[in-house]
Structure 1
Amino acid sequence: MNAPLHGHALPHDPRRRLLLAAGGGLLLAAVLPRPAGADEAVEIGMSGTPSGSQVWFRPRGLLIRPGQAVRWVNRDAGNVHTSTAYHPANGRPLRMPAGAKPWNSDYLLPGQSYTVVFEAPGVYDYFCLPHEHAGMVGRIVVGDVDAAPPYADTDARLPPAAAAGFPAVAAILKQGRID
C-alpha cells in the first residue's frame, strides 16, 4: 500500500486541473481564428504637404467587412487632424447609416491615432474638422451595399470641396481602396 505524497500535486488536485485548463485555453487562443477587431484595423493615414496647403486621408475610399476596425493615424508632422463622422451629433448632416454610432476623434497630434469598429453595413462619410473646407473627406463602405450615389440630398449643405471629394461607392466596391 502506497502512502500519499504530501506537498506534491496528485492527478486529482484541482490546482493542477486549473493550470492544465488554462494552458489548453492559451493553446486554443493561439490556434483558432479570431474575428477582426481593433487589433486588426485597416489603417487610414492623415497627412498633408509641408506647407499645409493640401491635406488628405489615404486611402480616401475604403471597403471593409462588418465588424472590421479602421485606425486613423496622423502622419502629418506639422498639423492636427480629426476623423469626424457626418452626423447631426457632430453638427453636420447625416451621411452614415441611421442606426450607427457617430464618432469624433477630437484633435490628433502628429503620431496619434484613433480607431472605430464598424458593425452596421452601409456607407459612412467622414471629414477632418479643421480641413473640411479644403476637401479633407473620406468614405468607408461596410459590406455589400447599393452602388447608387448616397446622400446626394445633403451635398448642398457641405463645403463645395468636401462634396466633390468623396469617391464613388461603385468605384470603392470595384477597387476596394481609392487613394
Structure 2
Amino acid sequence: MITERRQFLALGGGLSAALLLPISLQTTRVVTIEMRGTPRGERIWFSPQGLAVSPGTAVRFVNHDRGSGHTATAYHPANFDRLRRIPAAAEPWDTGFLMPGESAEVILTVPGVYDYYCVPHEMAAMVGRIVVGRPGDRGWQGPSPATDDVSPEVLAALPSVDQVLTRGRVEAAGK
C-alpha cells in the first residue's frame, strides 16, 4: 500500500488526519528513508541504504535531493517486468517520481528481504535493502537469488542481510 503524503502534513493537516485514522493505523511505527544527492548531481543515494524493521512498519521515502526527482521501486515483475527481489507474498510498490520535498509510504508486513531501486538512477547504484523481521520468522524469505537483470555493481552496492541485521541501518559507502 502506498500513501502519498506530499505537502499535506507540512500544511498542518497531519494532526487532524491522525485523529481520523483508526487506532491500529495510528500506532504503526514509521521510519524514514531519504533520497539524497550532491548539489551538482554527481552522486545520489538512499539514506540509509540498508534498514532493519519489524513487520507492520511503515517506511516513508522522502526526497531531500534538491536537484532531482527519484523513485523507490520494488524489484518485481509488476514494476517494469523486473525479476522479483522481495518476498513472494509481499505486495510490490512503486512510489512514482517524487520531486524535492515530496514523500510516499509503504507498509511492509511480510518477513523477508526487500530490494528496491530508483528507476532513473539504478545504474548509478541508487538501490536499497530493507530487512523485515528476522530469519526464522514465520514466512521469512531471504534475499533473492535472481541476478539476471541486475548489474554486478548494483548487487555489490546492496548491504548484506547480516550487516543490516547487526547494525539496524547501513549507510551507503562514502556517504
Query: How does the TM-score come out when normalised to structure 2?
Result: 0.77
Deviations 1:16-69 (A, max 9, x none): xxxxxxxxxx9xx9xx998742xx410001011111111100000000000111
- Which of residues 89, 103, 107 in structure 2 aligns to 1:113? 103
- Which of residues 58, 67, 73 in structure 2 aligns to 1:78? 67
- Which of residues 29, 32, 49 in structure 2 aligns to 1:60? 49
> Partners in 1 of 2:130 and 2:120 — Cα distance?
20
> Partners in 2 of 1:73 and 1:59 — Cα distance?
12
Corresponding position of 1:89: 78
Corresponding position of 1:157: 149
Q: In 2 relative to 1, CA 98–149 (structure 1 residues): closer, same or farther, beyond 3 Å?
A: closer
1:155 Cα offset (Å): 2.4
CA contact 1:45–1:73 (8 Å) conserved in 2: yes
Corresponding position of 1:138: 128
- Aligned to 2:147, the other structure's residue is in SS state helix
> Partners in 1 of 2:76 and 2:53 — Cα distance?
20
1:124 Cα offset (Å): 0.3
User: What amino acid is aligned across from residue 121 of structure 2 in structure 1?
Assistant: H
Q: In 2 relative to 1, CA 154–66 (structure 1 residues): closer, same or farther, beyond 3 Å?
A: same
- Aligned to 1:132, the other structure's residue is in SS state helix
Please state if 1:178 is matched with 2:170.
yes
Structure with max Cα Rg:
1
User: What amino acid is aligned across from residue 143 of structure 2 in structure 1?
Assistant: P
Following superposition, which runs of at least 4 residues in structure 1 exceed 6 angstroms of deviation?
A: 32-35
Gapped runs of 5+ residues in structure 2? Answer: 1-18
Corresponding position of 2:160: 168
Question: How many matched pairs?
Answer: 147
Deviations 1:132-167 (A, max 9, x none): 000000000000126x9722x322421332121100
- Aligned to 1:89, the other structure's residue is in SS state coil
- Aligned to 2:42, the other structure's residue is in SS state coil
Corresponding position of 1:46: 35
> Partners in 1 of 2:161 and 2:129 — Cα distance?
8
> Partners in 2 of 1:51 and 1:76 — Cα distance?
10
> Partners in 1 of 2:52 and 2:26 — Cα distance?
17
Matches within 5 A, 1:116-131: 116-131=106-121
Q: Which has the higher contact order (CA 8 A, sep 6+)?
A: 2
